[in-house]
Structure formats: C-alpha cells, structure tokens
C-alpha cells in the first residue's frame, strides 16, 4: 500500500475525498465538497477492503456446491455460455446489469460489450433510484443531472428540501445548508416524517405521504395568483407555460389533500418565489413512486416559473444515492440510453457510436430494464456489482426464476445474488484499482490504487477486457486508454483526462476540451434542449396507496445514517452493525396503543405484497397513521410494492398500505 493515496468515498454520491494511509484514513481538509469531514459510513469505508468475507478466487457452481477454478477456465466458460445463448436464442436472451459502484471506464466497457453482442438489455441501479429524474429533467431541461454544485447551497437564500432526509443520507450536504442558514437563508422541509433534516427547517411541511404534486401545484397556484412568477424568464427561456393550469390547486383544496395548513402552503410559496436565489433539493422520496416522473416534473415547473435556475444558488439538485450512479448513466449503462445520453431510438446518434466502435449494426429500441429481467425468458444474465436480490422487490420474490438462466456475478462479497449464480468472479474494490467516478454534482474524480486486491481478485476493467477478447473484440484495459475513448463517445467528458480529474476535487462536466475549467452551473444562458428553451409541463395529483380496514396504515421506507442500500458493505463493518444491528419499524405512540404494540416488541408488518418481522420503536417523530422501515434489510423489499412508474419503469418503493401486530 502507498504511504498516502487520495481516494473517493465508495458510499453515497456526494463524492467526499480522503487519503488512505498505512495506518488508516487521513482526512482531506482541502477537498472542495467535504473539507475533511466524513459521515459514519465514510469513516468505516476501509473495513470492507480486507474483510474475511472478500471473494478471492473464481468459483463455479457444481450441483448445489462450488468449486474453485482458474481465471482462464472461468472466463472461457462465461464466453462459451454467452455465445451459446446468442447462437441458440439470439440477443434477446441475454441481459446485463451494470454497477453504480464500478468506475466510469468499467461501466463504459460493460455496456459496450452488451451493445456489440446485439442487446440494449443493460441497466443499473439508477432504475430503482433516479430513473424519473432522467426522464423528466432530460425532457424538460435537456440534461438529466444536478444543475448546480453542492457548495452552491451556501449561496441560496431559500432551500426547499422535498423527499430527502439528507442529514442522515447525505450528511456532508447538510453542512452547506447550515452555512446558508447562518447567512439568513430560509429552509423549507417537506417530509411526512420528523427527521434530522426536518430539525434544520424554518418551516417543516409534514405532508401526507404521496401528496408532493398537490403541494407543489398549490405553491404554484399561490405564486401565479400573487404575481410572483418571473414573467421575463418564462417568456424568454421556456415553452409550455400557457398549458400550465393549477387553478384547482387552491391552498384550501391542497390543505385537504396534504394535511397541511393553507397558511403554511402560502408561506412556503412566498419564501421560495421571493428569494433572490432558491434551490430545490430532492431525493428518492420524490422519485421512488408510481408518479415519480410527475413528481420531478412538478419540481422543475416550480423552478422554471420562478426563474430559479441557471444561477449560483438557484437550481434543481437531485441527490444521487450511489457513488457512481451518475457516471454509470453517463456511460450508457441504461436500457434506454447509449453513452452520452444518446437515445436508443435515435439512429443518427447511434450511427456515431457505430463508427467510433467500428461496429456493424447496433441494437435500436429500449431493452429490458432491471425490473423486467426476472420475468423475461433470459438464457444468460451478467451482473457486475449489483445485489439485486436484496435491493429489488421484484427479484426478491422471483429469485427462483433467475435459476433458469446461466448467471454470472462479478462481486467483492458472496452476496445473496452471487449465491444464485452459476459463476462468481472476484473483483477488486474501489481502492484496489484506478479510474474515474462521477458524483451527484457531475464532479469527475480520478481514484488511484491504494493497495492490492485479495487472493486472485482482479479489477473489473481487466475482467471485461478478457471477456471481450473471448468474444472477438479488442478492448483496452488501461483506464486512461478507456477514458480517452469515452472522450469521443460522451461529449460532456470530451476534455476530461487523468490530469484534470486527479487533483483533489477533480472537474465538473461538461468539460468540452482539455483546457476547459468545467461547468459547475448548468443552463446559465440556454437549456440543453434542441431550441435552448426549457419545457414547462403540467402534471396533476393522483392518489397513491389508500388505506383500508385490512391495511389501515401506510408504510414508508428509506435509509438510516449507519447503513447503506442492501447492506452488503455496511453489514460487514463491526462498528456500524453494533450501533444498528437489526431491522426496526418506527411507530407513532397513538398507533402503537391502537394496535397493542409496545416499544421493543417483535412485530409483524404486512402489506398486500408480503410480511416481515421487525423490532418496534415507538416514537412521536413518526407521523400518525404511518410506519417507517429502513430498506437496508432484505425483509423490507419482501413487502414493498411492485407497482411501476410506466414512464421511467421505477418501482413504487416508498409507500404501501399495511398493518402491524405483535409477532406470535
């Protein structure tokens, strides 16, 4: 291991920097985003590197057991099975799942293999977190990404946090909001729960679950009625305003839908519209719904009618979940987009890549998305760094269907998904390889190798190059060479190199040429649409889950500060597990009394989709009529809804009607 190697945290997408030394972590005081601070997960990041559970050798399934095999035997088998599937059933019989934990270079090569063998059935975890952001912001603004850097929050005079408990989920971001508050900024938090984020608020809008569109349309109603909209911005830089009709969303009507007072709705609207620079920050409380695309659209409408976009301190900030989910999408690890956000239906843009790759015909049309793959008639599935069994309710319930196909899993641990595989390939972790990651704010940062992977584990980029060679493709596996090809395939990355991504803090795309300083604020003069104008698009509130005598409560899901996603990494950090060891469910005291539940009881939570046990935590911070369970434990996904946002194919993961009772 090097004496002092700069790196980027492998957990959330804030992109915090730190150093890895022989003795552990050294804080990077001059990193532009985290300035030396790390959350509990970041402080425990090194726990996974030398963990006893690390995969060390390629493993092949024989009957119900495993045997250790050589890399040559494993890769030959992988290529043989893929070729057989293609030969006997065609490209529709194979699918790929990329990783928001792998580098840009690895995801680029992974999707390139998929496209060259003839399929667009490649996806990544963005499908289950920010696919509505991709659909809505690309359509409305032209670019599906954060418009401003995180540090810009300190320049805002009003910050609307909706569907985001960032104080727990993205704790470092909260520091920039506190700086804005110190300057006198107003902070509005819209969340059904009383979270640590709500503690930051000047105005906490504790709305009913699933009523975000009604709230935002109600704010727009007030803004238009009082003449607080930015008429010149609307006229010069947008289209579609004349179709926006929110006349039915009066404060009184919205009050009846959201459970908020009419006065608070009016106050929120005035604070946001009158501010000289307002920012909207949202996360999966907005996106993980059947109306997720419409929720994002409503947020963008609010920003556009007030002209609160394209300036320092004024913008739309979707907080991404995984450390490289933005980059994986930029690289085209999506069923509906090629690299650089080229539509799979746009033959002209696809043709540019065909020439770059010196390829024949490339597949056209959307492939299978992650939620569709378990029910598809697949013959071969290649999973790179995704624990889909523990993160996707569809897969959780249909894991048996995955056994019908030959499945390859490339991982650092023997996850529940890997346990179903026919072939398991041991991969290097983030600190054991090189390449770039792209944070939630579009910041591209080069990560250097700090140590060697255990046993025979290899970097994903090496594995993919070896797979490609066996399929007849000549791929580089030097990260700098791959990044040079990305420069040609992804216009926003055209000027990005190891040179400008390696210094602490990297560079924010778009970066059109090597000497460009990067573009922290998007849409300053024009939007990324064909005519340079943003699209205002009307959306309307539709009730989501309804309670019933059988299921009288609403279950909410989300994160807690000490764990991360499916827990395959944090559950192996002793310090984190000791403080958050088991599944729990938060219950309001009135609901606890109503259903005979006491604090500490083992209870059963049941939805129309399944049932799960948890430890009850009775707390007045939980809104009456609702429960909360963290999704880091597999039980939560077993009872989550399978309903979809048909625009983005996003599962309804946030709410479900439920009941609770003491376990027998």
Residue range 55-90, pLDDT digits in tens: 999 999 998 899 999 999 999 999 999 999 999 999
pLDDT of 235 > 70? The answer is yes
CA distance 451 to 54: 14
Q: Which pTM was predicted?
A: 0.95
CA distance 451 to 37: 23
- 23-54 pLDDT, tens digit per residue, is 899 999 999 999 999 988 888 889 889 899 99
Determine how many CB atoms are found less than 10 A away from the CB of residue 247: 10
For residue 163, the model assigns a pLDDT of 93
Angle between helices 262-274 and 212-225 (to 10 degrees): 70
Domain 553-662 of CATH type 2.40.40.20: yes
Domain ranges of the chain: 4-48, 59-122+323-490, 131-318, 553-662
CA distance 530 to 236: 15
Which percentage of the chain shows pLDDT scores above 90? 77
Question: Looking at domain 59-122+323-490, which CATH architecture does it have?
Answer: 3-Layer(aba) Sandwich (3.40)
- 500-519 pLDDT, tens digit per residue, is 998 789 999 999 999 999 99
Q: Which two tokens stand for residue 398?
A: 């249909």
For residue 21, the SS3 value is: strand
N-terminal to C-terminal alpha carbon distance within the chain: 52
For residue 635, the model assigns a pLDDT of 77
Residue, of 321 and 241, whose pLDDT is higher:
241
Query: Cis ω on the peptide bond leading into residue 340 (within 30° of 0)?
Result: no
Q: Got the DSSP string for 201-221?
A: -SEEE-PPTT-HHHHHHHHHH
For residue 545, the model assigns a pLDDT of 79
Q: Which of 182-186, 388-392, 490-494, 624-628 shows the lowest per-residue confidence on average (mean pLDDT)?
A: 388-392
Question: Looking at domain 4-48, which CATH architecture does it have?
Answer: Single Sheet (2.20)
Average pLDDT rounded to a whole number, residues 354-371: 93
Which percentage of the chain shows pLDDT scores above 70? 96
Q: Got the DSSP string for 635-654?
A: HHHHSS---EETTTTEE--S
Question: Looking at domain 131-318, which CATH architecture does it have?
Answer: 3-Layer(aba) Sandwich (3.40)
* pLDDT tier for residue 575 given thresholds of 50, 70 and 90: confident
CB 486 within 8 A of CB 339: yes
DSSP H helical ranges for 259-291? 262-274, 284-287
Cα 488 → chain centroid: 26
* pLDDT tier for residue 645 given thresholds of 50, 70 and 90: confident
For the chain, counts of helices (H) and of strands (E): 23, 30
pLDDT of 259 > 90? The answer is yes
SS (H, E, C) 555-588: EEEECCCCCCCCCCCHHHCHHHHHHCCCCEEEEC
* pLDDT tier for residue 650 given thresholds of 50, 70 and 90: confident
pLDDT of 457 > 90? The answer is yes
For residue 597, the SS3 value is: coil
């Amino acid at each position: 291991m090097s004496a002092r190697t700069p790196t980027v945290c492998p957990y959330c997408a804030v992109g915090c920097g730190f150093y890895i030394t022989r003795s552990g972590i050294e804080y990077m005081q001059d990193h532009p985003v985290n300035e030396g601070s790390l959350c509990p997960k970041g402080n425990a990041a090194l726990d996974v590197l030398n963990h006893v559970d690390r995969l060390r050798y390629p493993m092949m399934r024989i009957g119900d057991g495993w045997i250790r095999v050589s890399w040559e035997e494993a890769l030959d088998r992988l290529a043989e099975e893929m070729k057989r599937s293609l030969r006997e059933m065609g490209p529709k019989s194979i699918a790929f799942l990329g990783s928001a934990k792998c580098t840009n270079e690895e995801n680029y090569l992974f999707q390139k293999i998929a496209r060259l063998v003839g399929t667009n059935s490649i996806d990544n975890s963005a499908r289950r977190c920010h696919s509505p952001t991709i659909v809505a912001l690309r359509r409305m603004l032209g670019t599906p990404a954060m418009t401003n850097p995180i540090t810009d929050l300190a320049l805002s005079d009003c910050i609307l946090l909706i569907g985001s408990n960032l104080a727990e989920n993205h704790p470092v971001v909260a520091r920039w909001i506190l700086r804005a508050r110190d300057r006198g900024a107003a902070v509005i938090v819209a969340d059904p729960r009383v979270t640590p984020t709500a503690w930051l608020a000047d105005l906490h809008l504790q709305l009913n679950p699933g009523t975000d569109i009604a709230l935002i349309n109600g704010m727009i109603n007030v803004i238009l009625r009082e003449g607080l909209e930015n008429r010149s911005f609307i006229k010069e830089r947008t289209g579609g305003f004349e179709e926006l009709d929110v006349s039915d969303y009066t404060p009184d009507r919205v009050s009846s839908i959201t459970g908020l007072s009419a006065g608070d709705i009016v106050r929120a609207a005035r604070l946001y519209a009158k501010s000289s620079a307002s920012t909207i920050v949202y996360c999966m409380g907005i996106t993980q719904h059947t109306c997720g695309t419409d929720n994002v659209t409503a947020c963008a409408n609010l920003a556009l009618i007030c002209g609160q976009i394209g300036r320092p301190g004024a913008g739309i900030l979707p907080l991404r979940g995984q450390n490289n989910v933005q980059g994986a999408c930029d690289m085209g690890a999506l069923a509906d987009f090629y690299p650089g956000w080229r539509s799979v239906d746009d033959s002209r843009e696809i043709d540019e890549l065909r020439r770059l790759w010196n390829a024949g015909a490339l597949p056209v049309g959307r492939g299978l998305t992650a939620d569709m793959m378990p029910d598809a008639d697949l013959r071969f599935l290649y999973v790179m760094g995704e624990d889909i069994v523990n993160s996707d309710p569809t897969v959780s319930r249909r894991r048996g269907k995955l056994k019908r196909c030959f499945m390859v899993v490339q991982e650092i641990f023997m996850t529940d998904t890997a346990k179903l595989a026919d072939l398991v390939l041991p991969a290097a972790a983030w600190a054991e390889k090189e390449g770039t990651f792209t944070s939630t704010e579009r910041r591209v940062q080069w990560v250097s190798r700090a140590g060697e992977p255990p046993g025979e584990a290899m970097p994903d980029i090496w594995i993919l190059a070896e797979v490609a060679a066996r399929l007849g493709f000549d791929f580089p596996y030097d990260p700098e060479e791959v990044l040079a090809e990305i420069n040609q395939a992804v216009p926003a990355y055209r000027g990005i190199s190891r040179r400008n991504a390696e210094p602490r803090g990297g560079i924010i795309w778009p970066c059109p040429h090597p000497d460009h300083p990067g573009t922290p604020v998007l849409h300053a003069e024009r939007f990324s649409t064909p005519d340079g104008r943003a699209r205002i698009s009307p959306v309307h509130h539709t009730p989501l889950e309804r309670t019933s005598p059988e299921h009288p409560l609403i279950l909410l899901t989300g994160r807690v500060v000490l764990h991360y996603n499916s827990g395959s990494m944090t559950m192996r950090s002793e310090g984190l597990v000791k403080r958050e060891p088991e599944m729990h469910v938060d219950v309001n005291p009135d609901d606890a009394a109503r259903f005979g539940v006491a604090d500490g009881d083992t209870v059963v939570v049941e939805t129309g989709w399944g049932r799960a046990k948890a430890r009850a935590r009775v707390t007045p911070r939980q809104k009456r009529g609702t429960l909360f369970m963290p999704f880091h434990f597999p039980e939560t996904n077993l009872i989550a809804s399978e309903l979809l946002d048909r625009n983005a194919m996003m599962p309804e993961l946030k709410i479900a009607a439920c009941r609770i009772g003491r376990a027998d």
